[in-house]
Each structure stands twice: as structure tokens, then as C-alpha cells.
Amino acid sequence: MQLVESLDQIREPFQNAVITIGNFDGVHKGHQALLKQVISKAKKISGTSVALTFEPHPLRALGIATPPLITRHDQKMELMGASGIDVVICLRFDKDFAAISARDFIQKILVDKIGMKAIIIGPDYTFGKDRAGNIDLLKEHGRTLGFETIVADWIKDPASKTHRISSTRIRQIVMDGQVEQARQFLGRHYQIRGKVIKGRSRGGSQLGFPTANIKLHDELCPKFGVYAVTVETVHGPFMGVANIGYSPTFDDHIFTIEVHILDFDHDIYDTRLRVNMVARLRDEKKFANIRELSDQIRKDIESAKEILIKNGFATDRYIS
């Protein structure tokens, strides 16, 4: 994948560019289907598949409050690259960009600069200053500027069969702790990322289960509770159990994400972890004492192992 972060980097139009445009938050199954359609169309016309997106989120750039992102910029770029798309153009969105008229956006940027021969977008796509651009305007300009406008069908919610897969729906599912359902929408486990920091030094010494304390990098946090997870470390992938919340037994009111990595004995302070949320085991609970909590953690580990093995992971670690 070629990553373009400024229009100035484009020296000449791409050959027969087939373009899709969007925020692609989550790069979920609906986005994946759209990208596949772009790739397929590009192959048919011996062209270049192109995805155009923006950083920061356009609403944020305009000072409008937005919900937490499902995927931060780095993960979004990784996922879009994994789709097989030829080029991702990620442009900085600001007030000047927002002031570009829909007609200028079509002709000066999409056609003249990028070389668009086809555009594939969803049924509700709008663009340009005051969101004045729409499918009808694209079709009108396509007749004179020589490009095709293709409207892609929504990808249906696998659970309801009626609602479409959307970032809004996935965001709510994750916040509700339904990480198993989130996988059906994303095509992968929901993943949080973060740096391992010094914690309260009680996991190993007090509970008998050492934990990695994570400073969350992502914006979207799953519902508080205990989860079966897989953990991608600098030493490879491992199974684990994660606790998200305030550890009410200790009553110190400090938010933490703590991960006990199974069969693991490495110093990983200051390294970054990727934690894949496989299944929610239970709510957080305040126990009468540390012994009761330790006994419950032991049960959580056994439950997590059973679930992870059932999901196809090896007994001590898995190969992704």
C-alpha cells in the first residue's frame, strides 16, 4: 500500500483511479466490502484502487463533539493496508479544506489531481462545503468529466438482517461489553492498545498473579469487567485475562486496565501491547478480602483458557 498524506505528494494522476471516500472508523465489514469492490473495479479497468480518508475526523476539525473512535489513526492505516488497496490518501482536514466547494472537490481534486475514472460510495454519501455534494452531483459531473459513479449496497447486520453494519452500532456494542458480537461486525476481535506502565505492584505480590498495567492508547474502552483476551507482545502472542475498571476490592478509585498474561515471564515495562478482546467473563465485583479475589482470578483464568482454546488458540500461546 502506498500512503499519501498530502496532495502535493501526487506528481501525476494515478492510472484509471477507482476511488472510495470515508472516515472508515473501525474498518468494519461494511468498509471491507467497499474496499474489495474498489479493488475489483480497478482490476477490471487496469486501474489503481484508491481510498481517500481524513485526519483528524472532519467533525473534530470543525470543533464539533464526536464519539470515541473505534480505531486510532495508526491501526486504521494498518487495517486499510491489509485490505489490499493500492493507495490510501489520508489528507489533513481543516477549515480551509472544509471550505472547498463540492464541484471543485470533484474536478480539481478527484479528477484532475487523483485521476478518478470511477467512484464507489454508500447511498448517503455527501461532501464539499456545507455538504452540498451528493450522488446526483457526482453522476452529473461524471457525464461531462468522464467518470462512473457506483452506489454500493449496505452490508447488513448479521444479527438483525435488517440494520446495516455501522461504526455507531459497533461503538455501542463495545461499550456494552459485547465483544463477541463486535467480532461479527469487525471481522476480527476488538483490539485495545497501550503502553505497559508501573502499576500498584499488587498483582504478583498480593494476589499471586502478576499483571501488566496498560496506559490506554485507544479512545473506545469496553465496558468495565473481566475479559478473556489474547495479548500481542514483543515476545509473541499469548493468552490472558484482562480486568478493566476500578478494582473495587482495593477501594482506591483508580481506573486501570490490568492484563495477566498466561505462562509469561518477561519484563515488558515501557513496551506496547495489543490486547484482543475475545469474550467477556463477568462484571467487576467487590470481594470481602484478597483471598476471595485471588480465588476468583484463578477461576477466571480457567474460564478464559476454556474459551480461548474453544476459539482455536493453543494451550499456552497462539500463532496469529
Task: Please compute the mean of the pLDDT values over residues 269-286 and round it to a whole number.
Answer: 96
Q: What percent of the chain has pLDDT over 70?
A: 94
Task: Classify residue 178: in a domain, yes or no.
Answer: no
d(CA 208, CA 104): 63
CATH code (residue 54): 3.40.50.620
Q: Are residues 217 and 143 in the same domain?
A: no
Higher model confidence: residue 59 or residue 318? Answer: 59
> Which of 140, 148, 258, 292 is flagged as catalytic?
258
What is the average per-residue pLDDT within 79-94? 96
Q: Alpha helix locations (H) across 19-175?
A: 29-44, 58-61, 73-82, 95-98, 102-104, 135-145, 167-175
Please give the average per-residue pLDDT across 65-78, as a whole number.
94
The amino acid at residue 11 is R
pLDDT band of 71, cuts 50, 70, 90: very high
| Domains contained in the chain, number | 2
Do 132 and 204 lie in a common domain?
Answer: no
**Best CA proximity match to 245, nearest among 268, 222, 219, 270:** 222
Assess whether 139 and 204 both reside in one domain.
no
Same domain, 224 and 96: no
Q: Are residues 61 and 128 in the same domain?
A: yes
For residue 172, being part of any structural domain is answered with no
| pLDDT (0 to 100) of residue 203 | 52
Q: Of 89, 121, 151, which one is at a domain's C-terminal end?
A: 151
Of the residues 123, 151, 179, which one is the last residue of a structural domain? Answer: 151
Q: Distance of CA 33 to CAs 20, 120, 175, 182, 185, Å? A: 11, 11, 24, 17, 12
Report the distance separating Cα 240 and Cα 285, nearest Å.
Answer: 19
Segment 94-120 mean pLDDT: 97
The pTM of this model reads 0.91
Q: Is the pLDDT of residue 317 over 80?
A: no
Contact 277, 189 (CB under 8 A): yes
Please indicate, yes or no, whether residues 26 and 146 belong to a single structural domain of this protein. Answer: yes
Residues 194, 129, single domain; the answer is no
The answer to whether position 319 is within a domain reads no
What's the pLDDT band for 106 if we cut at 50, 70, 90? very high
Q: Kindly state whether residue 226 falls inside one of the protein's structural domains.
A: yes
> Contact at 8 Å (CB) between 154 and 123?
yes
Position 248 scores a pLDDT of 82
Boundary-marking domain end, from 105, 122, 151: 151
Given pLDDT bands bounded at 50, 70 and 90, which one contains residue 316?
very low
78 within some domain: yes
| Number of C-beta neighbours around residue 104 at 10 A | 15
The residue-averaged pLDDT of 193-201 equals 84
Q: Are residues 21 and 133 in the same domain?
A: yes
CB neighbour list of residue 280: distance below 8 Å, 6 or more residues apart: 177, 178, 179, 180, 222, 223, 225, 226, 227, 228
Q: Which has the higher per-residue pLDDT, 314 or 118? A: 118
Residue 169, domain member (yes or no): no
Averaged pLDDT for residues 217-242:
96
Q: Are 237 and 300 in a shared domain?
A: yes
- The CATH number given to whatever domain includes residue 202 is 2.40.30.30
Is residue 258 annotated as part of the catalytic site, yes or no?
Answer: yes
Residue scoring higher pLDDT (313 or 27) = 27
Range of the domain at 140: 11-151
147 and 195 fall within a common domain: no
Cα–Cα distances (Å) from 58 to 15, 41, 115, 175, 210, in that order, read 28, 27, 23, 23, 42
Q: What pLDDT is recorded for position 314? A: 66
19 touches 118 (CB < 8 A): yes
Is 303 in the same domain as 229? yes
Percentage of the chain beyond pLDDT 90 is 80
